Amino acid sequence: MAASSTPAPVAVPEHGLPPWIRTRPPRGDLYPAVRDVLGRERLGTVCREARCPNLSECWSAGTATLMLLGTECTRRCGFCAVTTHWPNGARDRSEPERVVAAVREWGLRYVVLTQVCRDDLEDGGASILAETVARLRERAPRVGVELLIGDLADRDESLRVVLECPPDVLAHNLETVRSLSGAVRDRRAGYDRSLHVLARARELGRASLVTKSSIMLGLGESSEELGVALDDLRRAGVDLVTLGQYLRPSPGHLPVRRYVPPEEFDAWKGEVLRRGFAGVEAGPMVRSSYHAEELYRRAFARRGG
């Protein structure tokens, strides 16, 4: 597939999913161990709250993407299964310590943290994010930290707080192409806002900070539009990109317009690297935190990470 070609507008199976969309059943002793720690420490995960199809695979490997600031989001995006609620400023100050306890018990080398959007908080939750990373640096200094943030209402002061004790990887997802952003994402989000957050993270962060973003395919984007979005991310200084298939979490969410075959994802890997990104993970089952440690270490092995 040439990346500039326009794919078929709709290719959705009438019954079920295409053969390349497959989830794996839980296996081994690590899955229940991860589940038990999450329950004991009262921690949310994007795996469970967002109904990630890779939950069994990741938990069976002893990893999970931890969700900060609770499990209820103040935004309602058309693709996302996370519950929408306005918490009226409620914060659980014990959350950072519970995250550290889970990471230490699991013996992780690398942890991915994400957040629900918290428009009810003046700083968007930046202080809790920063405290969690700081405590991990203090109590688990050998653990690599990837932090997937919301747009923090595009406030520089909130981004500065997060970057005071920076993660190894600062991620923020563009999610989709420009023409679809308004229909796919909550009205308070935005294509240009996300690009600005990523660009400012590059400007405000240390030279060693790695930035990352993710785009879903299959929502009706053209190849030309996806190429433009990748160029926009590269201009914003983004280092790592993930591309994955959008899967409808319920009948109340946006429909899948097209199931992208694995060979097209393989072609896009080459296109991403040709544009100058340091690394890419692309495939039907890929999500923003999928194989996050492997992607980071593969792309930046030269840094001694």
pLDDT band, residue 1 (cuts 50/70/90): very low
Digit-coded pLDDT (tens) for 22-69: 777 666 666 676 777 777 878 777 656 556 665 566 655 556 688 899
Strands 240-245 and 279-283: parallel
Token reading at 98: 């519970």
User: Domain for residue 43, yes or no?
Assistant: yes
Cβ of 250: how many Cβ atoms within 10 Å?
7
Q: What is the per-residue pLDDT for 274?
A: 97
The closest of 59, 61, 60 to 43, measured between CA atoms, is 59
Residue 238 has pLDDT above 90, yes or no: yes
Q: Which residues, other chains included, contact 301 with Cβ-Cβ below 8 Å and sequence gap of 6+? A: none
Name the amino acid, one letter, at 113. Answer: L
Digit-coded pLDDT (tens) for 103-127: 888 888 888 999 999 999 999 999 9
Tell me the C-alpha distance between 23 and 38, whole Å. Answer: 21
Cβ of 64: how many Cβ atoms within 10 Å?
26
Residue 215 has pLDDT above 60, yes or no: yes
Name the amino acid, one letter, at 50. Answer: A
Determine the average pLDDT of the residues in 267-282. 97
User: Domain for residue 12, yes or no?
Assistant: no
The closest of 156, 279, 167 to 214, measured between CA atoms, is 279
**In which region does residue 254 sit, left (phi positive, over 0), alpha (psi from -120 to 50) or beta (all else)?**
beta
User: Domain for residue 13, yes or no?
Assistant: no
Q: What is the CATH number of the domain that holds 56?
A: 3.20.20.70
Residue 10 has pLDDT above 50, yes or no: no
Q: Which residues, other chains included, contact 213 with Cβ-Cβ below 8 Å and sequence gap of 6+? A: 171, 172, 173, 174, 194, 198, 233, 238, 240, 241, 242
User: Domain for residue 18, yes or no?
Assistant: no
Percent of the chain with pLDDT over 90: 67
Which of residues 141 and 38 earns the better pLDDT score?
Answer: 141
H or E stretch covering 2: none
User: Domain for residue 105, yes or no?
Assistant: yes
Task: Give the chain's domain count.
Answer: 1
3-state secondary structure of 177: coil
Domain that holds residue 155: 30-303
User: Domain for residue 8, yes or no?
Assistant: no
Q: What is the per-residue pLDDT for 298?
A: 86
Radius of gyration, alpha carbons of the chain: 18
Burial label, 33 (beta-carbon count in 10 A; 0-12, 13-18, 19+): middle
Q: What is the per-residue pLDDT for 84?
A: 93
Q: What is the per-residue pLDDT for 38?
A: 75
- Beta-bridged to residue 281, according to DSSP, are 242
Q: What is the per-residue pLDDT for 2?
A: 42
User: Domain for residue 25, yes or no?
Assistant: no
User: Domain for residue 21, yes or no?
Assistant: no
Which of residues 298 and 50 earns the better pLDDT score?
Answer: 298
